[in-house]
Structure 1
Amino acid sequence: MLSRRKALKALSTLPVIGGMLGPSVLSAKTVEAVAIPEARNFFKELGVRTFINAAGTYTSMTGSLMSKPVTDAINFGTTEYVNLDELNDKVGERIAQLLKCEYATVSSGAFGAMTIGLAGVMCGADEEKVKQLPDTSGVRNEVILQEAHNIGYTHALTNTGAKLIRVANAKELEKAINKNTALLWFLNANTDQGAITREEFVALGKKHNVPTFIDAAADVPPVDNLFKFTKMGFDLVAFSGGKGLRGPQSAGLLLGRKDLIKAARMHTPPRGTTIARGMKVNKEEVLGMLVALELYLARDHEKEWELWENQIQMISDSAKSIKGVETEIHVPPHANHVPSLKIRWDENVVKITKDAMREQLRDGHPSIETVGNNDEVGITTWMMEPGQERIVAKRVKEVLENA
C-alpha cells in the first residue's frame, strides 16, 4: 500500500479526480489503482521524438536537462502547502548568501526577471503605480540602451509600457538622460558590439543616479559571472535558470539591490492585479532553482571544461578525417561560453549542403540536433549525456563520408 505522501504525489497527476474529491476522501488503495506507472514513456506515447542535443541551450530544444537532486526538490515541493511569499523571501535570502549579493529572487526565466525588474524600478513601492502598468502616466518610463543591444528580447522591457531610447555611444547616452529615464539596460551577449563598456555603463548610471540592469541570460558558464556583475556595480542582473545552471526551464534569477527586487516582487503572484500575474513561479520551481544553483556552485568546473574540450576534439577529429572537411574549435567570448565546433567543407568536394547535413543528422537514428548556417554546421557537447559525443562523432563522419 502507498504511503500518504506517495499518495498525495500521485494525486498531483489526477487533476479531475483530485479536484472533485480531494485527497482526504481518496484511499491510498484508490490512488494506487489509478497512479501513473513510473516507466510510462510519455514522449513515445505522444509521438514526440527525442534527440541528442549537440546544439546548446535553446528554448526551442527545451534548454537543459535537470539532475535528479533538482527533480527531487521539485517533487518534494508537491507534498506540502507553504506561503508563496514566505518561500520566496527565504529562498531569495539563501541565494543572496550563496552569490554574495544584496538580494535575489527566482523569476519566470531571464525574460520575466527583466520585466519585473524594470517594473520595480518604475513603480517602486507605490501600490497604485504597480496596479496601473502598462499605463505609465506619471511614471518614469524610458529605458536607455545601446543600438547594438536592441534585440527581440527587449519585449521584456516594453511589456511594462516602457519606451526604449537607443543610443550609439556614451555621449548620446548622457544626452538622452532626462526626468523620464527609469533605467539603463545592457545586453551582455552583445558586449563586444557596443561602444560603451560594462564598467563605463555602470559609472554613467551612478553619475546620473539611474539604475543599471544587465541581461546575462546565457552567461553561465563561467561560474564567476554569477558574482561578477553585482560586484561590478550593476543594480540588477538577470540569469536564465534552464540553461547552464540546469534548473527548471521556466525559471530564472534576478539579483541585485534589495529595494529594487522587493519592488519587483510587488508585480508577481500571489498579487493578481499586476502585469506579471502570468509570470508565476510555483513553489516547486523555486525549490528546483535553489538546488540547481547549489549544485552548480559545487561542481568541479575545471574538470567539466576538460571533458567538453575532449568531447569537442573527438568530434572534430572524426569530421576532419574526411577529405575536404575543415573544423574550427572556438569558445564564444560572451553567452554560451563553452568549447564549440564549426565544421566546414567545399561542397564541390563533399557534395552535401550544410542544411542537408543538419537534416540528415536530425532524421537519423538517434536524432541529433545541431546549429549553423549556409557556411558551417555548429556543434557543442555541454548539453549531451556522457557517451553521446561518440555517437555524434560517428554520425557526423558517416554523413560526410556518404555525401
Structure 2
Amino acid sequence: MVSYDELGVRPVINAHNTLTVLGGSLMDPAVTEAMSLAARSFVDLNELQAAASARVARLTRNEDALVVSGASAGLLLGALAMMTRSDPRAVGQLLEQGAAALPRTEILMHRAHRIPYDNVLTLAGARVVEFGNAIQTQDWELDAAIGERTAGIVYVAGSHLSGAALPFEVVTRIARDRDVPVFVDAAAQLPPRENLWRFTQAGADLVAFSGGKELRGPQASGLLLGSRAYVDACRQHAFPLQRFGRPAKVGKEEIMGLLTALDLWLERDLESDLARAEHVAATWITELSDLPGITATRDWPGEAGGPWPRVRVQWAAGVHPPALEVAARLAGADPRVIVFVASECAFWINPVLVTDTEAELVGAAVGRELGRTAPAS
C-alpha cells in the first residue's frame, strides 16, 4: 500500500475549513468500509443510481435526488438541465450543435453572488447574466433581467453573501411568476439539517450540496436534490450516459460511501459538535490572549456562513509580521498547521475539524509562532 510518507507528502492539521485543496473532510471508518465493500463487486450503475436516488430523496424529504461527483458537478448538470429541460430534441441539439443552438442559454445571477465556482455554467455553454450590484439589489432588477433566452436563476446560499442580494423567497416568487427554474448552490450550507429540504420546499427546483464537506463523505461526491422534473432533466446529461456530464462521473464507491455518510450525519449529535467547537474556541482564546500584542476573539459565523464559531487572531500593524508570512511559517512547521488568513494582520483558526490532540497542537503552534516574534521597537 502506497503511503503519504512514501511519496514524501506530509499531512497537515486543518484549522482552516472543509476546503477541497485540503482534502475536504475526514471520513468515518464506516464510510471507508462501505466504499471498500462496494469496490469488491461489479454492479449496474443505472440500477445503483436509481436505488440510491430513491433513498436520498426519502431521507432528505425531496421528490427526487441524484448522487453526483461534487457540488460543482451538480451545478454543471443543473445548468444543462435548465437549458434543455426534459426536451429530447433540445438534448440532441446540444450534443450535435452546441449550446448556441438552444433557445434558452442565459443563466441569471446576483452580481453579489458571483463566485469562483460559477465558471462551470459557461462550461455547460450558458451565458451568465448579472442583475443588481455589489451593494444592493431591487426586485424589479431580477424581473427585468428575465427574457426569452433565460434558462434559469442560480442562487448562491449562505449568510456571507446575503447582504446585497434579494431574499430567497423574493427570488422564488418572481421566478415562479415568470416560469423560470431556480438552482441553489448550497455546497457548504450544512448544518442545519433543514437545509436539505428547506430550499426546495421554499420553491427551488434544484439544490446542490457537497458530499465531502460537512457530510464527511467522499470528497468526489455530492447531492443534487429537487423536483422530479428537473432532477430527471439532469439525468439526461449525467454519467453513465455518453453526454456532456460524462466527465463528472461518480463511481459505485462514492455512491455507497455518500449514502453511508448521509445516514451517519442525519443521526449525528450536531448540538454536541457545536458545544465542542465552542469549548475549543474558548480554550484557544484564553491561551492566545496572553501573547504580546495579540487579540483573540470569537468570530461568528464560519467562512461560508456556516453556524460554527472560529477564532480571529489579530494584531496591530508592525507588531508582528504580516499574516501571510505567519501562516506560511505555520504551514511549514512541524506539525504543519493550516490557518485562514483574514487580513494583513489577522487570521482565523477553525475548531471544527481538529481532534482534541490537534486542538492542543494548534494552540501551541500559534503560541510559539506569535510568542517568539518580538514586538516592533
Q: Same fold (TM over 0.5)?
A: yes
Identity percentage over the alignment?
33
Are 1:246 and 2:207 counterparts? no
> How do 1:310-321 and structure 2 match up within 5 A?
310-321=279-290
2:193 paired residue number: 223
Quote the offset at 1:122 in angstroms.
1.7
1:329 to 283, 292, 298: 298
Q: Distance in 1 between matches of 2:284 and 2:92?
A: 54
Say yes or no: does 1:125 pair with 2:76: no
Mapping 1:2-401, distance limit 5 Å: 36=1, 42-133=3-94, 134-168=98-132, 169-189=138-158, 190-272=160-242, 274-332=243-301, 335-349=305-319, 351-372=320-341, 373-401=343-371
Q: Deviations over 1:221-243 (max 9, x none)?
A: 22222222112121111111111
Deviation sequence 1:31-65 (CA, Å, 0-9, x none): xxxxx4xxx5x100001111110001111111111
Q: CA distance change for structure 1 residues 218 and 335 in 2, over 3 Å: closer, same or farther?
A: farther
How far did residue 291 of structure 1 move? 0.8
CA distance in 1, matches of 2:147, 2:235: 26
Q: Secondary structure at 2:162's aligned position in 1?
A: helix
Larger radius of gyration: 1
| Residue aligning to 2:135 | none
Q: Is this contact kept in 2: 1:184–1:210, CA < 8 A?
A: yes
Q: Could you say what secondary structure the match of 2:128 adopts?
A: strand
**Alignment check: 8 A CA contact 1:318 1:396 kept:** no
Q: What TM-score, normalized by structure 1, do the two folds share?
A: 0.86
Residue type at the aligned position of 1:182: A
Residue 11 (structure 1) aligns with: none
Give how far 1:194 is off: 2.8
CA change 1:367–1:195 in 2 (3 A) is closer
Contact 2:99 2:105 in 1 (8 A): no
Looking at structure 2, the residues matched to 154 and 178 of structure 1 have their Cα atoms a distance apart, in angstroms, of 21
Distance 2:67 2:371 in 1: 47
Q: CA deviation at 1:271?
A: 1.1
CA distance in 1, matches of 2:87, 2:78: 15
**C-alpha distance in 1, partners of 2:318/2:104?**
58
Is the Cα–Cα contact under 8 Å of residues 215 and 238 in structure 1 kept in the other structure? yes
Question: Matched residues in 1 for 2:116 and 2:187: separation?
Answer: 14
CA deviations 1:186-228 (Å, max 9, x no partner) are: 1113542333111101111111111111111111122222222
In structure 2, distance between residues paired with 1:292 and 1:66: 8
Q: Deviations over 1:155-177 (max 9, x none)?
A: 12112211111111321211121
Which one-letter code corresponds to 2:177 in the other structure? K
How many residue pairs align between the two structures?
Answer: 362
Equivalent residue letter for 2:127: K
Once the two structures are superposed, residues 301-332 of structure 1 have per-residue CA deviations (whole angstroms, 9 ceiling, x without a partner) of 10110000111111121111113210121222
Is contact 1:241–1:251 with CA below 8 Å preserved after alignment?
Answer: yes
Distance apart, 1:128 and its partner CA? 4.2
Shift of 1:94: 0.5
Q: Matches of 2:85 and 2:45 in 1, distance apart? A: 21
3-state SS in 1 of match to 2:321: coil
Q: For structure 1, which runs of at least 5 residues remain unmatched after alignment? A: 1-35
Q: Distance in 1 between the 2:109 and 2:365 partners?
A: 44
- Which amino acid in 2 is paired with 1:365? D
What RMSD over aligned residues (CA atoms) do the two structures have, in Å? 1.6
Match of residue 7 from structure 1: none
Report the AA paired with residue 90 of structure 2.
K
Q: Structure 2: any 5+ residue segments left out of the alignment?
A: 133-137
SS in 1 for 2:218: coil
CA positional deviation for 1:295: 0.7
Deviation track 1:238-279 (CA, whole Å, cap 9, x = no partner) reads 11111111111111111101111111011112211x211100
Aligned-partner residue type, residue 116 of structure 2: G
